[in-house]
Structure 1
């Protein structure tokens, strides 16, 4: 990840930190329930939450494990996450660390569990980040859940997805298909045990404003949604009323994988 791009990410999420922390869509969800079911965390586990954002995933798992390290590239986001966990959670086993997902500042084998939720589409080099995830997980018992936006297989729908994400947030790099995710995770030295797909409905206005959009930028994004082809409207279940977009539904992929030793 270039320094210029990292600085852009820090600026974007520093400004948007409050919105992400307060958004209850991150604090709960079927994806978190399924992640816990698959990871089966115990009080012997040491968990790293990469790109922790508002701290919701770290807080969700904290009561289930021995300790959690919540890491993020953006210091302002980390501060907001720390405030959120201090205010909302009755836990004292979460520590915070500024960290680049593609160059994690932790010794090899430091963690038994790793989570990374709704963040990799901002990484400029996902394969490098996955190699780092593999490195910091223990050889025995190391396991991981990644949750992120799923790129549609249909090229036209995928192009719409990529464009609208970038219109909303210029630090969006790209989403990936299920096949691409499986290949990248396996190439990093993991065994993919299971993948699942979840639908997530977004209130359009709060989704756009959380990323900092205002005025003409929101109007342009609204028009991009409204003028999209019918199959895009069908895929994203775009709901409109009186010339405005009320909501849309995208899909999130969950990848559960365990660490393998590279030969």
Structure 2
């Protein structure tokens, strides 16, 4: 990441940290349960949660593993995550570390499990981050789950998605299709064992405001949704009432991969 972009990310998520910590859409979900099902964590596992956000994934896994390192680029987000996990109680095996996903400050082979949930679309260089994920995972038994928004295959719908995300959050870089993800993960030295998609419905006003949009910004974004083509409305199941956007539904892609050694 460039320093300018890293500073923009820190500013954005430092300003909006409370909203992400309190959001129940991050705190629970089928994707978290499926991640546990696939990774099969044990009391011997040492886990890294990259770009931990509000700490929800770290807290979900903490009772199931020996220890968790929750890392994030934004120090204020880490502090909010620490407060959240402390307030929830019941675990004492989570530590917190400021870290850039593309330049992780951990020795090679430090972890047996790695998760990264709803964050890679903020990474300028996903392949570089994936190489770092591969490096810090152990050769034997290293396994990983990545969860992020799935980029639609249809170009016009994909363009709508990319545009509206950038309108909402200037630190959005790019979402990826299933095939793009599989290619990047395998090129980093992993073997993709399984993929799964989940529908996620967003309360539009809450979702828009969580990113720090002004009232005028929310109105502009809502108008972009309303004026979009019918196929966009159909794909995202956009729900409106009295000229206001109430909700939309996108897809999250989960990828489960294991470390392989390149020859």
Q: Provide the TM-score with structure 2 as the length reference.
A: 1.00
Q: What is the CA distance between 1:262 and its match in structure 2?
A: 1.5
Report what 2:129 is aligned to.
129
Report what 2:66 is aligned to.
66
Q: What is the CA distance between 1:49 and its match in structure 2?
A: 0.0
CA distance in 2, matches of 1:242, 1:68: 46
Report what 1:210 is aligned to.
210
Partner SS, residue 245 of structure 2: strand
CA distance in 1, matches of 2:25, 2:224: 24
| 1:222 aligns to 2:222 (yes or no) | yes
Partner SS, residue 172 of structure 2: coil
CA distance in 1, matches of 2:154, 2:118: 21
Report what 1:103 is aligned to.
103
| 1:260 aligns to 2:260 (yes or no) | yes
CA distance in 2, matches of 1:180, 1:62: 31
Report what 1:33 is aligned to.
33
Deviation sequence 1:108-157 (CA, Å, 0-9, x none): 00000000000000000000000000000000000000000000000000
Report what 2:180 is aligned to.
180
CA distance in 2, matches of 1:54, 1:101: 16
Moved segments of 4+, more than 4 Å: none
Report what 1:53 is aligned to.
53
Deviation sequence 1:154-173 (CA, Å, 0-9, x none): 00000000000000000000
Report what 2:171 is aligned to.
171
Q: Provide the TM-score with structure 1 as the length reference.
A: 1.00
CA distance in 1, matches of 2:103, 2:173: 18
Q: How does 1:154-169 map to 2 (within 5 A)?
A: 154-169=154-169
Partner SS, residue 217 of structure 1: helix
Partner SS, residue 158 of structure 1: helix
Partner SS, residue 61 of structure 2: helix
Q: What is the CA distance between 1:89 and its match in structure 2?
A: 2.9
Partner SS, residue 53 of structure 1: coil
RMSD: 0.4
CA distance in 2, matches of 1:215, 1:190: 44
Unaligned runs of 5+ in 1: none
Q: Residue 59 of structure 1 contacts residue 89 of structure 1 at CA under 8 Å; is this kept in 2?
A: no
Partner SS, residue 140 of structure 1: coil
Unaligned runs of 5+ in 2: none
CA distance in 1, matches of 2:18, 2:216: 22
Deviation sequence 1:155-213 (CA, Å, 0-9, x none): 00000000000000000000000000000000000000000010000000000000001
Q: Residue 46 of structure 1 contacts residue 68 of structure 1 at CA under 8 Å; is this kept in 2?
A: yes
CA distance in 2, matches of 1:92, 1:66: 10
Deviation sequence 1:210-242 (CA, Å, 0-9, x none): 000121111100000000000000000000001
Deviation sequence 1:234-256 (CA, Å, 0-9, x none): 00000000110000000000000
